[in-house]
Amino acid sequence: MNTSVNVRISQKRTLLSVLVILLVAGGIYANSLSNGFVLDDELIIAGNPATRHLSGIGDVLFSPDVIKPYYRPLNRASYLIDYQLFGLNPAWFHAINIIIHALSAVLLYLVASRLLADNYAALFAALLFAVHPANSEAINFISARNTLLAGCFSLASLLAFMKAREKGVRLPFLSAFLFFLGLLSKETAFMLLVVIAVYTFSPSPWFVGKKLRDRLISLVPYLAAVVVYFAMRFYSLQGMFGTDITGGNLFSRLAMNYHIIPQYIGLLLFPIDLTIFHTALKGGFATHLAIWIALFIAVWLWLVARRRNQAALFGLVWCVVNYAPISNIVPIPSEAFTERFLYMPAIGFFIIAGACFERLQAEGSLKKAVKPVAVLLLLLCAAMAFQRNRDWMNDYTLFASGVKNDPASAEARFNLGTALLQDKNDSEAARREWEAALSLDPRHADALMQMGTYAAMTGDLRKAEQFYLSALAAPPGRSDPDKCMAHFNLGKIYEKQRRPQEALQQYELFLNYVSLRYNEYTPVAAQRAAHLRIGVTKNK
């Protein structure tokens, strides 16, 4: 009878905790519903024909993402479904992101409940994950849904794995299927297999007395999922990567972690430096302070390991394993360091936070202070996340927040100028921001191109030409697809100056290097090139 009563109490406590997590996560991000499409959302979602018609679902499932070598068909399919249900109303796209994050927080609670004896500790870990402002980029940036889906399916797979072990299921097919869905959402979900493998071959309650053969067999469904995924990927990309992803010297890329790891730790411990314009190679006092913080945490974790705290050790393994994909072992075609990359590895950090809560609760002298301090910490994080959501209202507010965070960021200044022109139609204010960017970085190619466009708009074609040529000479060089509009605009200038051969050359360079972002200009460039080619041939 007592057992039955205890089970009912436990079920009610779990249900209440789940409701609290859903309400908190939904409430903190409710103001995101008024935000629009920002950054790459226009290219990937709003302006992408692949997100329109269900008849194109086959192309979505068996073709590369907008940017190779990414292959994330389930994420792309989710945008297609959103459009069928809600059209291009950004509020619903944001709502789906919030729901996925809230579900992930619930799943984290259910996983932590199996690792921690104290329900309050598991609830604290889940709530801290739900409201931590470092997660705001992954949630507010609709195009980062791939990260949210990978996190959600990874946690769901892990929970299914744990339940299968509790029931003595030999082959956890449900867990493997959820793992497969994670792979289809984002490549980084692959790291769950490493986590499960480590857990399988380490001493744990689920595998006490199990033979090596039984442990190996339990991994077979996951390996089958990996084979199917890579077969789909190879077919869709016509190769494993579909494009060249060489990114320089491996040692140089890994050396960046000297600066990046402390910055990530700093974002988790002191989430006050929130921006999309982080500099991966930031140095100085802040970096060294963060290193000392990292060393302190490492020593503390070592002490936890000595006491064999299973939850803390699991959280540490999760952090390390899931950090590997963002450590630049494989060169990432986008940024080397950004807040949304932290979403997956930070799940381990929140499990460790739950273990800390549980440990401090066990200390007689600290027991009374633990819960009030935890509540205060959650309230502070929630307030910061709620405020950060407002920065993601549109491109202008996002870039303005970047300049406010770091006025010396040339990238932030450039992007704010572009937003002032596009969103506010204020060309003079835009020019001032581009000039500020160039005063900080005279070889900032994008700012040089925008100044060229501004000069052309004011009729100074010679000055515009100088700016465009300077942009093409700036790193990484003339063949950079992001500079293709410099070629296009030089072609227009040379046509006006009656320099047909040079104009033809620039249009052809544009057609050779054009990126998907500027595909709308391709027909015009092709038409002008064909016309000029006829004239140049006749003159010869």
Instruction: Name the range with the highest mean pLDDT among 285-294, 328-337, 461-470.
Output: 461-470
* Nearest CA-CA partner of 326 in 133, 186, 185, 231: 186
Tokens of 170: 């030999």
Q: What does the domain layout of the chain look like in residue ranges?
A: 9-391, 407-539
> Poorest-confidence range of 25-34, 56-65, 397-406?
56-65
Q: Which pLDDT tens digit goes with each residue over 94-147? A: 999 999 999 999 999 999 999 998 899 999 999 999 999 999 999 999 999 999
CB 301 within 8 A of CB 312: yes
| Angle at which helices 461-473 and 484-496 cross, to 10° | 150
Burial of 344 (C-beta count, 10 Å sphere; 0-12/13-18/19+)? buried
Tokens of 477: 């060089």
Tokens of 404: 């406010």
Which pLDDT belongs to residue 1?
47
Q: What is the pTM of this model?
A: 0.88
Cα gap 103→113, rounded to integer Å:
15
Q: Is the pLDDT of residue 244 over 60?
A: no
Could you tell me which residue, 425 or 280, shows the higher pLDDT? Answer: 425
The two counts, helices (H) then strands (E), for the chain are: 26, 0
Phi, psi dihedral angles at 274 (to 5 degrees)? -90, 120
Question: What average pLDDT does the structure give for the chain?
Answer: 86
Mean of the pLDDT values across residues 156-169?
90
Query: Model confidence at 283, in pLDDT bands (50, 70, 90)?
Result: very low
Cα gap 416→507, rounded to integer Å:
29
Which pLDDT belongs to residue 284?
41
> Poorest-confidence range of 329-338, 385-394, 500-509?
329-338
Cα gap 209→305, rounded to integer Å:
23
Tokens of 456: 């052309």
Could you tell me which residue, 218 or 295, shows the higher pLDDT? Answer: 218
1.25.10.10, 1.20.1080.10, 1.25.40.10, 2.40.50.1020: CATH of 407-539: 1.25.40.10
Cα gap 463→504, rounded to integer Å:
20
Query: Model confidence at 375, in pLDDT bands (50, 70, 90)?
Result: very high
Name the one residue in this structure whose structure tokens are 């394993």.
321
Cα gap 429→432, rounded to integer Å:
5
Residue type, 344: M
Burial of 412 (C-beta count, 10 Å sphere; 0-12/13-18/19+)? buried
